[in-house]
Structure 1
């Protein structure tokens, strides 16, 4: 029996652990929306800004940072999806059951980070529409927010959200593949420096991890998975497979964007002084068409991240089992507030987008500690499921690495903030 998506009817999203029937071998299609929500939540304006900035700064050596971030991301998401999926409980619900109030503290951290990111997402949507259609960027930002609000006002909001993120996810990958081919990057050099980099930067790796599985992004796909009803011990295999697919999709997009920018940099084009680095790189790679394609990619990245940030942040600040109408209403309010703050600020500076990604990387160990504690000590919350020791070990190693990287990145964060 295929799990039923209950998110559009009652919004409970809290199927009892172990009660769901196992999905079929092809049943991962049930989770396609959750997979792409995780992937596209990570692929936002900040993602594009970070990748462009670091490629210009590090050149081909940035490939090593991408590889490390992908490996850590896989270890983190496999544990997050496994614990949340088997328990059938959101991370904030688990937090409150482990220690009363912990879930709300985690929820506040995630929601504040999601709000700041959403200001950048809305700003990015405006810039995307400006590059794509020539529309005033501030008006374009409001259009982006309005489209996001429209999705959550729809009666079948969950299904519409899934359809939008899947379509835009595939579209962004195809367009990025085209631009990366046009840029003619030095692929061989990038492969060499993936394992033997000429330089290494802790700040860069922490920022990448924070921008891919930090803050709200860590839980976006897993929380959506609960809404689909794919939970419990019977669905462990499809849950694990889906988590890996989501991270790999994000990794492919990061690699394609890296190669596109690297091709331009390797050709001798100096983008370091530009205030629109990514747009200029696309123009050098593919001319006027490249600028339009950049606009489409940026708008798609912004809109899907607006959706992901709003959906996930609200899932942390509402009780599990709250009605879908309540959740959608709060989500609409979240997007409206983000748009209002953007309108007052008028912009989301590039430095802020990078700094927030790093802060998310520093927050990551806090929420991940909860996940690992439940996996290690709270089998009662997992319906008696015996958690694989190998998965717990790689989770702990990744957790230690995120702490180490975070401590080493604090100096770089301070320097960047002062410079910005």
Structure 2
């Protein structure tokens, strides 16, 4: 009898640890899909379709290089934020007073520009999917997004919704890619032996995948959920890479879907909605409905991701139950929706510009984090940063600076 009584607390502790482990895994999965679905927005669809129409199979090389840069950058961003236990702007201010707020301004501006397109994209998705007015569809979608942050269990609801939305986008796009019958062999060849190398395409992809607010989306969500810390670094590393792989799978499937259409002789209007044209050409009216599903899912997940991450740059770290942060997130969604109502649907050029602009912003923040990793052990709680990780981070950010410098003029010429 005594043995039974003694064993009960042990069993309870085991159950408690098991519950905590499951919760931590769910939180990290949510962080993975927050980062991935933040990247897979209307701008993502437009950028991919635009550059595929322009470069054809050679665009595969730009995708490969951008994925490698993304992994190098995200490994370091997640690691520094996890070990330090601080958000990016807090680390920036610790290095140089005001630097963190400068980073915040850049992130929030880029996030709002993207979010105008996100709301508009969700509206167009609702129109293609259900036939309702695009403006009404955008506003209703924004209201649904606000609903996530009004929930008492906002974090859990958000994590589950993003996983579902990400899975839906990948599945539907895979169906369309199969229908378009793309020249897979030519795409694979150009992945390593491209006929054309376009630096602007690469910096735009990097900016649209891990630039601006997207750089910090998953890492800040991980921190808010309590899944950071040195003791969880193995899971953090896997999650950071997984988030890029999820995005890369979606990017390549979309590329193949559009490539099949372009290779078949269809000329896409890159000034309009090239992704929608590609889906319709590949699968007819059903393809347009599929595009509506993907675009709506991309729109609402990116509305959530852009607003949430921007809000984390305007508030202090205080755990997952942060009413002020949720309020700021709601305000940012409302502002983006209001601007959408005034400006209307963002044209393809603006969405591509937003990705390229975020690519210019990207190396600034990552350089700050790498400096902290290498020279500010006080901010890293005495953690000895791995040399191999610092090396690939320095290589990645050096390439990002080079691409940003070479592409600077081209980015702003997009608007002229």
Same fold (TM over 0.5): yes
1:10-409 matches, cutoff 5 A: 28-272=25-269, 275-321=272-318, 324-409=322-407
Structure 2 distance, partners of 1:253, 1:303, is: 16
Q: CA deviation at 1:220?
A: 0.3
Deviation per residue, 1:278-315 (Å, 9 max, x gap): 11111111111111110000000000000000100000
Structure 1 segments (4+ residues) deviating >3 Å: 23-30
Tell which deviates more after alignment, 281-290 or 239-248.
Answer: 281-290
Is the contact made by 1:44 and 1:304 (CA closer than 8 Å) also made in structure 2? yes
Relative to 1, partners in 2 of residues 1:373 and 1:273: Cα closer, same or farther, differing over 3 Å? closer
Deviation per residue, 1:333-373 (Å, 9 max, x gap): 11011100110112211111111110100000110111101
Is the contact made by 2:271 and 2:349 (CA closer than 8 Å) also made in structure 1? no
- What are the ranges of 5 or more consecutive residues in structure 1 without an aligned counterpart? 5-19
Structure 1 distance, partners of 2:55, 2:148, is: 39
Structure 2 distance, partners of 1:111, 1:273, is: 27
Structure 2 distance, partners of 1:313, 1:293, is: 30
Secondary structure of 1:155 counterpart = coil
Which protein is bigger by CA-based radius of gyration? Answer: 2
Aligned to 1:8: none
Q: CA deviation at 1:79?
A: 0.1
Deviation per residue, 1:192-237 (Å, 9 max, x gap): 0011111111111000000000000000000000112112111111
TM-score, with length taken from structure 2: 0.93
Structure 2 distance, partners of 1:30, 1:210, is: 25
Structure 2 distance, partners of 1:274, 1:311, is: 30
Is the contact made by 1:108 and 1:317 (CA closer than 8 Å) also made in structure 2? no
Structure 1 distance, partners of 2:101, 2:23, is: 36
Is the contact made by 1:68 and 1:205 (CA closer than 8 Å) also made in structure 2? yes
CA RMSD of aligned residues (A): 2.1
Structure 2 distance, partners of 1:310, 1:197, is: 37
Structure 2 distance, partners of 1:204, 1:231, is: 33
Structure 2 distance, partners of 1:270, 1:232, is: 50
Aligned to 1:15: none
Q: CA deviation at 1:27?
A: 5.7
Aligned to 1:10: none
Q: CA deviation at 1:411?
A: 2.9
Deviation per residue, 1:223-267 (Å, 9 max, x gap): 000112112111111100100000000000000000000000011
Secondary structure of 1:89 counterpart = coil
Secondary structure of 1:75 counterpart = helix
Relative to 1, partners in 2 of residues 1:41 and 1:356: Cα closer, same or farther, differing over 3 Å? same
How many residue pairs get aligned? The number is 403
Structure 2 distance, partners of 1:306, 1:358, is: 19
Is the contact made by 2:53 and 2:270 (CA closer than 8 Å) also made in structure 1? no
Tell which deviates more after alignment, 23-32 or 309-318.
Answer: 23-32
Q: CA deviation at 1:167?
A: 0.5
Relative to 1, partners in 2 of residues 1:25 and 1:311: Cα closer, same or farther, differing over 3 Å? closer
Tell which deviates more after alignment, 85-94 or 301-310.
Answer: 85-94
